[in-house]
Amino acid sequence: MRAIAYAVVGALTLTAAGAAAADDMSNMKGMSAAPAAKHGQGTGLIKAIDPKAGTLTIQHGPIPAVSWPAMTMTFKAKPAALLKGLKVGQTIGFDTTVRGMDADVTAVRPHS
């Protein structure tokens, strides 16, 4: 009889703990797992190309749509085929997608 009583108490304890954990998670509804993507367009000078890493370093002007000042930074090219035909020292227009600290170049256009 005692074994049954202990089993019932244990089950009730686990049920209460589960309900408390669910209540603790209820305030996280507004939080998302990944930051929302921002999209912008910029113009800049290619400073480096790394085909092996699939990256492009661009010295660019301000990009207001993603709240960036002018700076030099390295982007991941998505797709990596965007790097073909580009040259260090070339001025380009480009599209970028930004998620948190990750920035991708998603399109490249010659710029005069």
CA–chain centroid gap for 6, Å, is 49
Beta strand extents in 10-90 (DSSP E only): 38-50, 55-60, 71-77
Q: Are 105 and 55 in contact (CB under 8 A)?
A: no
Domains in the chain: boundaries: 1-31, 38-110
Average pLDDT over residues 37-45: 97
pLDDT tens-digit profile of 62-97?
999 999 999 999 999 999 999 999 999 999 999 999
Bigger pLDDT: 88 or 1? 88
pLDDT of residue 95: 98
Q: What is the DSSP letter of 90?
A: -
User: How many whole angstroms separate alpha carbon 52 and alpha carbon 111?
Assistant: 25
Q: CATH: 3.40.50.970, 3.40.30.10, 1.10.645.10, 2.40.50.320. Which one for 38-110?
A: 2.40.50.320
Whether pLDDT at 33 is above 80 = no
Q: What is the pLDDT of residues 2-23, one digit of tens each?
A: 555 555 555 555 555 555 555 5
Does this model's pTM top 0.75? no
